[in-house]
A and B are shown apart, each in its own frame.
Chain A
Amino acid sequence: MNINYKFITTLVLTVFSIYLVFALNTEGSERILLNLLTFAGIYGLSAIGLNVHFGWTGLLNFGHASFMGVGAYVTILLIPHAAGREGEFSTNGLPLIIALIVGVIAAALFGLLLGLPAIRLRGDYLAIVTIAAAEIFRLLVRDLESITGGVYGIISFSDSLQNYRPDFIDNLLTNFEFSPAQAWVGTLAWILIFVVLLLLKRLNNSPWGRALRAVREDEDAVRAMGKNAVWLKLQSFMLGAGIAGLSGVLLAFNYGSLQTTTFVPLLTFYVWAIMILGGVGSLMGPVFGSIIFWVIISETDRFAVLLFENANGQQIAGVRFVLVGLLIMFLMIFRPSGLLGKKEELLLNVK
């Protein structure tokens, strides 16, 4: 009963925010909607990974962007690409599917590497270490110009994915001014969300998921029961990092170019906002949270115009942060368990 009520509210809110896109934009609303749904799919997938860390296991990970980055860079560097200022296109590379698997595993291993020294830390200390590690990763990628293209980034890699684009996407989009390439990335993102959620649902109800929740509640008691809390936390870290790596690859294909500036801490904070909005610890939460969040992000300029006449681009960008900040503040005050989170499992008090 309670769950249904929550679910209906969430659905209504989601539909309403999609309606807002049409209400606020007189033209091109389909294009805007498809664009934001693509981003929502990618960020939602990332938030699902973060939810494994924080919602299930209680790990305060503020370096999520680096997991996305590792997945993206490893995958893109393995497929045909052109890196750097005068980057030459290298035709030799692995097939995308193999590169993707390697990339996801690399992200998971990066989680393990980061976790081994850091995961014994608790609460905010882990947060500090992860945010620092994510910045180190980003700066390292920026400075390794010979491999990663540095500030010039990597381009010309999209064909590896777009060659697999089915015709029906192009046919469906003939009436819209929308890039079929982006639609294909968006479709994949939502398919992957579906698949990942199915897998996680299985794990959440399993003894393994139960063990993670126990770790979240009290590590000492977990140890006293003969369970290796550190190993459980590392497994959780790897799984969430792998999912983040997957979403990072999609993000790269969505932009069509890979830039270090994509993986700034702001990305992590967006993913956090999505997870909190959707409901920490809930499986479906990040999916709806992501859609609503992206409506807010992409329609900020409309709101800003309503609020301030003659606002320029810079001012609108400011309003965007104000709105996201306000959103999180109001959530914390009025609905700390998010849209779909269980009140009984309110998770925001980290030990």
Chain B
Amino acid sequence: MSNNLLEVKNLSKSFGGLKAVSIDLLTFQKNQLTSIIGPNGAGKTTFFDLISGFQNSDSGEIFFNGKEITNIQPHKIARFGMVRTFQLTKVFDRMTVLENLLFSGSSVKNDSFLKSFLNPPTQRNYEKELQNRAYKVMEELNIKHMANSYARELSGGQKKLLELARSIINNPDVLLLDEPLAGVNPKLAEEILSLILKLSQQGITIIMVEHNIEAVMKISDRIVVLAEGSLIAEGNPSEIRSNKKVIEAYLGSENE
């Protein structure tokens, strides 16, 4: 079997007359840290929405681990082990940080109505173990002291951390990060960046949309460049840095 964890074929999505995404073939390898870059409106977030099931594509196929996941519901894709974050951080505002993590870490079976009603010892033990897991993740991400604060009391950067914590509590195979550094101060950005690198080294395949080119160049194994919905380049950071098409897309063509 090939090393392709995620494979996208002939994927397209239009909004009215505007072609948001049109990709012939794009693959993502296991254990790689891939960044998707491109100018605003290049279709990066739409691409994320398509592969995570939050939007349906007009045509094309998406394979995850050899299984077709085109246009299936987002929660099913997440259960396969591909978890995403959002460009505009989505935390559960009026729940505590701990509750945020407990909910995300809890299995679907554990959440069942009947089980919750009967509250058997198995569930109580599971909850205890879950709580330990939640504290471990909070410690790792340095938000343990906020455990009992409501999520809406957190700063923007802390919310990013919480969202990240929530996404990794169940050890996903693939993590889709939509602008993990947006609106975060440089010091915290540094922290988040090293965290992402650590997660990647732990064996999580990471696909990241990010505008901070310096950061992207520093940590990515591979960079994919989108412009106007299509793939214009892919390669390792140094290849991308010297790619003429990429420079044109970002800085505008010389012969205009």
Contact = CB atoms under 8 A, between A and B. Distances in A.
Interface stretch (A70-78, A140-148, A224-232): A224-232
A196 to B, nearest CB: 13
A207 B75 contact: no
Contacts of B113: 203, 208, 235, 239
Q: Which 9 A-B pairs rank lowest in CB-CB distance, beginning with the nearest?
A: A206-B116, A226-B78, A208-B116, A217-B92, A221-B90, A223-B74, A226-B79, A225-B104, A214-B103
Contacts of A347: 94
Contacts of B92: 213-214, 217-218, 221
Contacts of B111: 207-208, 210-211, 227, 232
B112 interface: yes
- State which size class the interface on B falls in: 35 or more
B63 interface: no
Contacts of A223: 53-54, 73-75, 78
Q: Is the interface of A mostly helix, strand, loop or mixed?
A: helix
B163 to A, nearest CB: 8
A301 B86 CA distance: 55
A218 B166 CA distance: 14
Interface in A157-214: 199, 202-203, 206-211, 213-214
Interface string B84-125: 111000111111000110111010101111011101000100
Contact of A220 (B90, B94, B167): B90
A349 to B, nearest CB: 10
Given A213-B99, A223-B73, 17 more contacts: A209-B116, A210-B111, A213-B95, A217-B94, A218-B90, A218-B92, A221-B92, A224-B75, A224-B78, A224-B84, A224-B167, A225-B166, A226-B78, A228-B73, A228-B108, A235-B113, A345-B94
A150 B75 CA distance: 45
B83 interface: yes
Of A207, A223, A227, most B-chain CB atoms within 10 Å: A207
B127 interface: yes
B135 interface: no
A224 B127 contact: no
Contacts of A229: 75
12 contacts: A202-B119, A207-B115, A208-B116, A208-B117, A209-B116, A213-B95, A214-B95, A223-B78, A225-B104, A226-B76, A344-B150, A346-B94
B200 to A, nearest CB: 20
Interface string A22-58: 0000000000000000000000000000000000000
Of A232, A239, A344, most B-chain CB atoms within 10 Å: A344
Interface in B45-63: 52-54
- State which size class the interface on A falls in: 20 to 34
Interface of B: 52-54, 73-76, 78-79, 83-86, 90-95, 99-100, 102-104, 106, 108, 110-113, 115-117, 119, 123, 127, 150, 166-167, 170
A201 to B, nearest CB: 12
B210 to A, nearest CB: 18
Contacts of A227: 75, 103, 108, 111
B119 A206 contact: yes
A347 B111 CA distance: 23
Contacts of A235: 113
B175 to A, nearest CB: 11
Given A225-B166, A226-B75, A345-B94, A210 B106 contact: yes
Nearest to A218: B90
B94 A213 contact: yes
A226 B84 CA distance: 10
A222 B85 CA distance: 11
A207 B105 CA distance: 11
Nearest to B74: A223
A26 B127 CA distance: 57
A199 B74 CA distance: 32
Nearest to B106: A207
A351 to B, nearest CB: 10
A206 B126 CA distance: 12
Contacts of B78: 223-226
A224 to B, nearest CB: 5
Contact of B93 (A217, A224, A225): A217
Nearest to A229: B75
Of A222, A226, A228, most B-chain CB atoms within 10 Å: A226
A346 B90 CA distance: 18
A190 to B, nearest CB: 23
